[in-house]
Amino acid sequence: MQTTTLLRDLQQRTQDVIKRITPLQDVSDALLNFQSSPKSWSALECLEHLNRYGDFYLNEMEQQIQQSRHKAAPTFQTGWLGNWFANSVADKPKINTMPSPPSMNPTGSQVDRQVIDTFLQQQSRMLVLLDRAAEVDLTKTKTGITLTRWIRLRLGDTLRVVIYHNQRHVSQALRAVATAQQTAPQSA
């Protein structure tokens, strides 16, 4: 695929995520912390989960972009593993549920509305990284992943995975708030 097309799509997805989350800054703590069941995440837990991944991936991508010796290329070729990861975390009607590693699972964590600000700051940083990513080859520049240090993905795939994952859990966070509003309208 064309590098510029991919980066433009990822920028639009990130801007959409920012627009969808920004209104949560005006939602009550009760709604933001509502869990529809003991095993479900609240909106704040969804964002905390994304912040934990963002802490790793934003730093990793920034470092690899800075260190890359591979200049921009007109096209990006996805790798089979990166494409599988991206498709498996994409926000779609029938979602594959997968357990989060303990370090990325916010269940039982003390989270407050600050996670919204942190998430929005991370998304602004992502937009800057997407601009900078246009300067390197998205196929040849590789990044580490959180699961194991033995696997490295193409930068273009890592960007897709992180941004698709953000979209997925932003939708989950908004569903949690919508359910809270339906269940407990008096707490709004």
How many Å apart are CA 145 and CA 133, to the nearest integer? 17
Tokens at 60, concatenated: 């990793």
Nearest to 138 by CA among 63, 64, 53: 64
Task: Tell me how far apart the 2 most distant CA atoms of the chain are, in Å.
Answer: 57
pLDDT one digit per residue (tens) for the chain, 188 residues: 999 999 999 999 999 999 999 999 999 999 999 988 888 899 999 999 999 999 999 999 999 999 999 999 999 999 999 999 999 888 876 666 666 655 566 676 678 999 999 999 999 999 999 999 999 999 999 999 887 788 899 999 999 999 999 999 999 999 999 999 888 655 44
How many Å apart are CA 68 and CA 65, to the nearest integer? 5
What's this model's pTM, rounded to 2 decimal places? 0.91
